[in-house]
A = this chain, B = another copy of it.
Amino acid sequence: MEVYVDGIGMVPFGKHPQRSLVSLMKEAAQQALQKSRRPEVEALFVGAMNPEEFTGEGNIAAAVADALELAGLPSIRVETASSSGASALAAGFYAVASGAYSSVLVVAGEKMTHLPTPRVTKILAEVIEEYERNSGASMVALAAMVTQAYAHKWGISHKKLEKILSKVALKNHRNGVFNPYAQFRKEITEEQYFNSRMISYPLRLYDCAPITDGAAAVVITREKSDVKITGVGQGSDTLAVRHRVHLHSFAACRAAALRAYAMAQRGPKDVDFAEVHDAFTCFEIIGAEDLGLLEEGKGWKAVDKGETEVDGRIPLNPSGGLKARGHPVGASGLAQAVEIVRQLRGEVDPHIQVKGARVGLLHSIGGLANNNTVMILERSDAPSHHVPWESPYGKSADIERHHKPDPGRVSREGVLDAYTILYVPPEGFPSPLVLGMITTYSGHRILARAAAPTTFKVGERVVVAKEEDTFYFMRYGFAQKVAFRISRTIRAWKLKLKRRIRS
């Protein structure tokens, strides 16, 4: 069964200190209903990541139905961390496609700016796997390590990497200027970018999406309209980042993309533009590669050449993305859908209108890329010339799990896969906090803290030691070499002695 988009709505993203979460969602929903040819929806699907802790409200789905004076209707909340808005749209899609409802209202929102930043960071960090969280890893720290792993994998120098990331930030801010819903409607200069505070090396303030209040809404229906949803795909990944084989790209995105393309009978070459989850600048490049929109390992070059600009080969985030539009976590995925529909309907500012836009792609990341959604939305008059995707990752949506995830005994030497210097560590940790991902020579992957706050080189040899439950690492040097040899010899002697005593 085909599912179409009817009305859409969105409140300007930003700070809304005087508004409640429910009132933001109500406003977006009312816009969508007013613009709908079929405003008599039969059910609500509500996306929100954590209203319980952000605003102290439970049963948010019922609260939204009540506020809209739609109490009586079924109202279901859907949550998949920061992709909740996209997942709510997916759940609504299934409900309409099943024939149970002829049209439903999907509404998503989050209110975050009223809380102090450390509190917001702490709530967001609840989606991080426990051990990594307890080691001091926050979202930005993990994203910084992913960024480093990407640069190392494709041999990008630090200087080049910085330049590329700045280009993503500058582009999205430039696009945001023309988006009335964007939180930031001002360009930033390269100088501003490079002068901005380092948050978690190599990510600066301008590499990170902001904290935002916002809400978006979409009415979907069985009745034919000008825009339809043709593909819905979702994929998850291990909760722990260290449990993944590859750190430089996201298996959950590829799994979601495979499913969405297959359902839509589309491939990346059919896509005219995409709203990509740029919670951190590098995620836009990695995401576009995972989606097949940019060539694997060469996405950074495409950015450098301007291919992702509004008038480029494959425009990414013409809306300004999460970077400039803002990132009210549970709302972002649905806001992307609204932006894509506005593009397809030619309703955006001419400066950011993608020419001949007929097929748009939505890409939303939940958690640290472990609950992702990809959707294809297209004009109903888009010709169906399916170009199948020859994914470099194979046809399977299975993900590869690291074979030695949680080591009891690990060898005490290994290679540094990625590291970061975190300047805003969680409460109880020293600043700066240096964290590294290490593959030991025994084949284990561990997350460790640097014994001293120094810089490292990704790919270099490091020494690992465990103290209580925490792993520490340091640069492998002559002194370590000698010290280890000695301690090993002593241990061997002790063992011999024990055996002799027993026998």
Residues on A close to B: CB < 8 A?
1, 43, 49-50, 52-53, 56-59, 61-63, 65-66, 69-81, 87, 90-91, 93-100, 123-124, 126-127, 232-240, 243, 251-252, 255-256, 259, 263, 366-367, 370-371, 397-399, 401
Q: Are B71 and A58 in contact (CB under 8 A)?
A: no
Chain B residues lying within 8 Å of A100, measured Cβ to Cβ, are 94, 97, 232, 263
Chain B residues lying within 8 Å of A239, measured Cβ to Cβ, are 59, 62-63, 66, 71
Known contacts A77-B80, A94-B95: does B126 contact A238 (CB below 8 Å)?
no
Q: Are A61 and B73 in contact (CB under 8 A)?
A: no
CA distance A256 to B74 in the complex (A): 8
Chain B residues lying within 8 Å of A263, measured Cβ to Cβ, are 100
Q: Are A57 and B98 in contact (CB under 8 A)?
A: no
Known contacts A58-B50, A58-B127: does B370 contact A74 (CB below 8 Å)?
no
Q: Of B59, B87, B398, which is within 8 A of A371 by CB?
A: B59
6 examples of A-B residue contacts, CB within 8 angstroms: A50-B58, A59-B239, A72-B399, A73-B255, A94-B94, A94-B95
Q: Are B367 and A234 in contact (CB under 8 A)?
A: no
CA distance A78 to B88 in the complex (A): 9
Q: Are B235 and A72 in contact (CB under 8 A)?
A: yes
Chain B residues lying within 8 Å of A127, measured Cβ to Cβ, are 58-59, 62
* A411, chain B: closest CB distance, angstroms: 25
CA distance A71 to B127 in the complex (A): 15
CA distance A65 to B238 in the complex (A): 8
Known contacts A52-B52, A81-B58, A127-B59: does B371 contact A234 (CB below 8 Å)?
no
CA distance A236 to B77 in the complex (A): 12
* A246, chain B: closest CB distance, angstroms: 13
Q: Are B237 and A71 in contact (CB under 8 A)?
A: yes
Q: Are A62 and B371 in contact (CB under 8 A)?
A: yes
Q: Are B126 and A367 in contact (CB under 8 A)?
A: no
Task: Give A232's nearest chain B residue, CB to CB.
Answer: B100
In the complex, the 9 A-B pairs of residues with the closest C-beta atoms, listed nearest first:
A74-B234, A58-B126, A97-B98, A58-B127, A72-B399, A59-B127, A59-B81, A98-B98, A94-B95
Q: Are A76 and B234 in contact (CB under 8 A)?
A: yes
Chain B residues lying within 8 Å of A237, measured Cβ to Cβ, are 62, 66, 71-72
Q: Are A370 and B66 in contact (CB under 8 A)?
A: yes
Q: Of B56, B61, B233, which is within 8 A of A80 by CB?
A: B61
CA distance A95 to B79 in the complex (A): 16
Known contacts A52-B126, A236-B72: does B91 contact A78 (CB below 8 Å)?
yes
Q: Are B59 and A367 in contact (CB under 8 A)?
A: yes
Task: Give A252's nearest chain B residue, CB to CB.
Answer: B72
CA distance A56 to B126 in the complex (A): 6
CA distance A426 to B240 in the complex (A): 38
CA distance A93 to B69 in the complex (A): 27
Task: Give A55's nearest chain B residue, CB to CB.
Answer: B126
Chain B residues lying within 8 Å of A234, measured Cβ to Cβ, are 43, 74-76
* A214, chain B: closest CB distance, angstroms: 19
Q: Are B80 and A79 in contact (CB under 8 A)?
A: no
* A83, chain B: closest CB distance, angstroms: 9
Best-buried of A1, A93, A100 by chain B (most CB within 10 Å): A100
* A442, chain B: closest CB distance, angstroms: 22
Chain B residues lying within 8 Å of A91, measured Cβ to Cβ, are 76, 78, 91, 94-95
Best-buried of A75, A99, A259 by chain B (most CB within 10 Å): A75
Chain B residues lying within 8 Å of A58, measured Cβ to Cβ, are 49-50, 81, 123-124, 126-127, 367
Q: Are B66 and A90 in contact (CB under 8 A)?
A: no
Chain B residues lying within 8 Å of A240, measured Cβ to Cβ, are 66
Chain B residues lying within 8 Å of A75, measured Cβ to Cβ, are 80, 234, 236, 371
Q: Are B80 and A59 in contact (CB under 8 A)?
A: yes
Q: Are B62 and A80 in contact (CB under 8 A)?
A: yes
Chain B residues lying within 8 Å of A398, measured Cβ to Cβ, are 72
Task: Give A251's nearest chain B residue, CB to CB.
Answer: B72
Q: Are A65 and B367 in contact (CB under 8 A)?
A: no
Q: Of B97, B255, B371, which is within 8 A of A99 by CB?
A: B97
* Other A-B pairs beyond A74-B235, A100-B263, 9, CB < 8 Å: A50-B52, A58-B123, A58-B124, A59-B80, A59-B81, A59-B239, A59-B367, A59-B370, A62-B367
CA distance A154 to B428 in the complex (A): 60
